[in-house]
Amino acid sequence: MTHTPKQRRPSRRFSESVKREAVSQFESGRHTVLELSALLHAGKSTIYKWIATYSKLEPRGMQLVEKVNSAADQIAHGFRPANVREGCVSSGSQHF
């Protein structure tokens, strides 16, 4: 069995206007990072870098995190996660 080296995808460059439009669509909630990554055929880390560079909402140096199915969302939709007691979220052995 011979080993075939993995071919590298050719490097692509995006114009600043494309980057800014992608960030705008993310900030407005029209697309998630995953959706933008698929639409533009760019890596998720690339999209996050664009957000860090061009975002008008997040100060530079802050890390942006997307929450999916957070405890607050689950409570709002009638689900009660196991670590939620009387409106407080406990993590591990710490109790509030």
Whether residues 72 and 92 fall in one domain: yes
Residue 93 lies in a domain: yes
- Total domains, the chain: 2
* Residue 4 in this model has a pLDDT that exceeds 60: yes
Residue 47 lies in a domain: yes
- The whole domain housing 94 covers 66-96
Three-class SS state of 88: strand
Q: pTM of this prediction?
A: 0.53
Whether residues 59 and 78 fall in one domain: no
Cα–Cα distance measured from residue 96 to residue 93, given in angstroms and rounded to the nearest whole number: 10
* Residue 5 in this model has a pLDDT that exceeds 50: yes
Q: Which helix (H) or strand (E) holds 6?
A: none
